[in-house]
């Protein structure tokens, strides 16, 4: 005669006792032996259901004021045992029975630390040890054991139990919940103690506030190792770090791809400008307002930042700066007199640091980046309580490997080095620009960038208009403006922008405000003058972070001197775009990477 199957065993240890008595009733109905600890056992007994204390199998009392209840081989061997002969022998030798169901949830650590002025000893007492061990052990062995950590699951569990068994799919679902429960619990504990014990600036950094002043508290932290940067001066805000960390990646990749010092000017998580240290002409020095910077001709980094800042001075106002190499005195001199929020670089000379730490009365943000830091391969962000994770965009862009698939003209010679360089600058800039985005580049620098537009053509127009504005600043009339003494640099930038964009005011009040900065008011550009000057702009490179869906993008790019276009393929209108480009004398290159960034 076959031996009767052993009675099933459940261990119950819960802080949240919602639904506990209904669950106990259902388990007893199915002839499950109940073992429970502490308050869980007390509540079930008072309700009149048969239950034993866990000590019935551990042969040891609860101790240390309840800190030790379930931590015992009789409990955990019973949970972790598999249906293996060797495990069965071990259990038999120690007279231990298998555990089939574990019902457990944890002390309210999050609720405790949310209280005002909670102390460390108070928080420590809410760190569950036995419960986490029960959850993890049962979840680990979920091929045999059912783990319930959420009272919402009790009803469906009992329905399955009444039918005879808990399905494998349900055990998997419950195990995932248990692992998630312990992970969330551990994260709350580590975050609490990180705030208490981690050295400020080592593993975490308290931020002034989040994206807006009312979004407090805010912090930056890493869960392993140290933060890859340190603040040498000033205190960063949330958006400062979004700009700094994106900008740093951009300049690091530009430097690696082209072997030139690189600079970026970032505003609101997109580059206002980016460039490498190609030597400046005398006109460029005037346009970028650096013709009086001593030693600039000997500093590739200073020339890179002059280009990055100077391409779109209006957008760069109040920027965060990224520099790929040690900051020298000439570069610091440019930074010191411009309106910006901060700078990130791998290092600073003594003279440069002295200049920068005096800016804003010592409150100017100066970040030093660990140039050897390599981030984890995956990145996670939380939006509206939902966690999103993806592989970090570590695609490498280089002139040698990214721009060698020329679509038209079919018999085209390889791209000249200058075109490869400029397409590299434009494409790496797009990698860190809010999408949709299109970028125009020339002379190793961004000259026009359209970021974050819902329509591709609006990106192309916005970037093209900026490129046109940039080029108009090289017109003799813009180069030779006579300013009234005492006119500030931002006022000059604004007046030049209005002149070159064809936006000189007609309203008398606004016109008076515009004209007050000039000793000799420059005449507005006529349509014919603009057309004639813009016709001299050429050899411009354009890159797009996704395909051009219509030919209007190609037509618009051509009006700003574009000679080279790089874009991913995949549009139904690819062929039409190719044909238009070829007729306009534009070389069209397939860029194999879509580079959306959000």
SS3 track for 319-383: EEEEECCCECHHHHHHHHHCCEEEEEECCECHHHHHHHHHHHHHCCEEEEECCCCCCCCEEEEEE
Mean pLDDT, residues 135-158:
97
509 CB-near residues (< 8 Å, 6+ apart): none
pLDDT in tens, 424-440: 999 999 999 999 999 99
Query: Residues 281, 283, 287, 291: is their CA dihedral positive or negative?
Result: positive
Out of 8, 25, 268, 360, pick the active-site residue: 268
pLDDT in tens, 531-552: 999 999 999 999 999 999 999 9
Percentage of the residues of the chain whose pLDDT score is greater than 70: 99
Indicate the pairing of strand 365-369 with strand 340-345: parallel
Known catalytic residue: 173?
Answer: no
Residue showing tokens 């790496």: 428
Mean pLDDT, residues 215-231:
91
CA angle 255–260–266, rounded 5-degree value = 55
Percentage of the residues of the chain whose pLDDT score is greater than 90: 85
pLDDT in tens, 260-303: 999 999 999 999 999 999 999 999 999 999 999 999 999 999 99
The answer to whether the CB of 565 falls within 8 A of the CB of 557 is yes
pLDDT at residue 230 greater than cutoff 70: yes
Out of 8, 17, 25, 140, pick the active-site residue: 140
**pLDDT band at 57, cuts 50/70/90?**
confident
pLDDT in tens, 330-345: 999 999 999 999 999 9
Strand boundaries in 128-213, DSSP class E = 146-148, 204-206
The answer to whether the CB of 219 falls within 8 A of the CB of 205 is yes
Number of neighbours of residue 505 by Cβ within 10 angstroms: 14
**What's the rounded Cα separation, in Å, for the pair 456 and 466?**
16
Burial 334-372 (b: 16+ CB within 10 A, else e): bbbebebbbbbbbebeeebbebbbebeeeebbbbbbeee
Q: How far is CA 206 from CA 139, 234, 366, in A?
A: 36, 12, 15
What DSSP element (H or E) covers 104? Answer: strand 101-104
**pLDDT band at 2, cuts 50/70/90?**
very low
The answer to whether the CB of 418 falls within 8 A of the CB of 254 is no
Indicate the pairing of strand 52-53 with strand 33-36: parallel
pLDDT at residue 108 greater than cutoff 80: yes
Task: Provide the mean pLDDT of the chain.
Answer: 94
pLDDT in tens, 366-425: 999 999 999 999 999 999 999 899 999 999 999 988 998 999 998 888 999 999 999 999
**pLDDT value for 3:** 55
Residues 191, 197, 199, 202: what is their CA dihedral angle, to the nearest 10 degrees? -40
Q: What is the pTM of this model?
A: 0.88
Residue showing tokens 């102390």: 119
**pLDDT band at 234, cuts 50/70/90?**
very high
Known catalytic residue: 391?
Answer: no
pLDDT at residue 1 greater than cutoff 50: no
**pLDDT value for 58:** 82
Mean pLDDT, residues 55-76:
82
**What's the rounded Cα separation, in Å, for the pair 297 and 24?**
82
207 closest CA partner among 198, 195, 217, 199: 217
The least confident of 218-227, 457-466, 499-508 is 218-227
**What's the rounded Cα separation, in Å, for the pair 432 and 595?**
8
């Amino acid at each position: 005669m076959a031996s009767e199957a052993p009675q099933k065993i459940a261990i119950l240890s819960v802080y949240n006792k919602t639904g506990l008595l209904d669950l106990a009733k259902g388990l007893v109905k199915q002839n499950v032996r109940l073992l429970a600890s502490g308050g869980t056992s007390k509540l079930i007994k008072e309700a009149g259901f048969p239950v034993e204390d866990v000590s019935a199998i551990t042969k040891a009392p609860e101790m240390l004021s309840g800190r030790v209840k379930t931590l015992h081989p009789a409990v955990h061997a019973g949970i972790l045992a598999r249906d293996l002969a060797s495990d069965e022998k071990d259990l038999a030798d120690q007279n231990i029975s298998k555990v089939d169901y574990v019902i457990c949830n944890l002390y309210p650590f999050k609720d405790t630390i949310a209280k005002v002025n909670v102390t460390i000893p108070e928080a420590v007492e809410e760190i569950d040890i036995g419960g986490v061990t029960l959850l993890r052990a049962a979840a680990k062995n979920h091929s045999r054991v059912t783990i319930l950590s959420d009272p919402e699951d009790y009803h469906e569990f009992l329905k399955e139990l009444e039918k005879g068994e808990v399905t494998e799919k349900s055990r998997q679902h419950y195990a995932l919940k248990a692992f998630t429960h312990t992970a969330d619990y551990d994260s709350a504990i580590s975050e609490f103690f990180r705030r208490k014990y981690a050295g400020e600036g080592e593993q975490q950094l308290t931020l002034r506030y989040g994206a807006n002043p009312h979004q407090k508290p805010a912090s930056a932290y890493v869960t392993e190792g140290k933060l890859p940067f340190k603040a040498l001066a000033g205190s960063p805000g949330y958006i400062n770090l979004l700009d700094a960390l994106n900008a740093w990646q951009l300049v690091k990749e530009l430097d690696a791809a082209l072997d030139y010092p690189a600079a970026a000017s970032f505003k609101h998580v997109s580059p206002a400008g980016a460039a490498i240290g190609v030597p400046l002409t005398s006109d460029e020095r005037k346009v970028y307002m650096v013709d009086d910077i001593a030693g600039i001709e000997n500093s590739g980094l200073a020339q890179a930042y002059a280009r990055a800042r100077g391409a779109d001075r209006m957008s760069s106002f109040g920027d965060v700066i990224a520099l790929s190499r040690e900051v020298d005195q000439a570069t610091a001199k440019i930074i010191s007199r411009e309106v910006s929020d901060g700078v990130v670089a791998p290092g600073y000379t003594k003279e440069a640091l002295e200049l920068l730490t005096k800016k804003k009365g010592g409150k100017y943000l100066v970040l030093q980046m660990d140039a050897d830091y390599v981030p984890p391969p995956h990145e996670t962000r939380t939006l509206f309580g939902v966690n999103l994770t993806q592989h970090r965009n570590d695609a490498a862009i280089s002139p040698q490997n990214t721009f060698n698939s020329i679509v038209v003209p079919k018999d085209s010679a390889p791209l000249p080095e200058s075109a490869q360089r400029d397409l590299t600058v434009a494409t790496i800039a797009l990698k860190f620009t809010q999408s949709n985005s299109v970028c125009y580049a020339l002379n190793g620098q961004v000259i026009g960038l359209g970021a974050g537009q819902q329509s591709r053509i609006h990106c192309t127009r916005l970037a093209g208009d900026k490129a046109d504005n940039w080029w108009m600043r090289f017109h003799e009339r813009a180069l030779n403006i006579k300013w009234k003494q005492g006119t500030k640099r931002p006022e000059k930038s604004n007046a030049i922008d209005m002149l070159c964009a064809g936006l000189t005011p007609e309203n008398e009040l606004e016109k008076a405000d515009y004209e007050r900065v000039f000793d000799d008011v420059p005449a507005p550009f006529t349509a014919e003058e603009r057309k004639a000057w813009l016709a001299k702009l050429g050899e411009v490179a354009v890159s797009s972070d996704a395909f051009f869906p219509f030919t209007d993008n190609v037509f618009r790019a051509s009006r700003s001197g574009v000679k080279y276009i790089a874009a991913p393929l995949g549009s139904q209108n690819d062929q039409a775009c190719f044909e238009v480009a070829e007729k306009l004398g534009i070389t069209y290159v397939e860029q194999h990477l879509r580079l959306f960034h959000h």
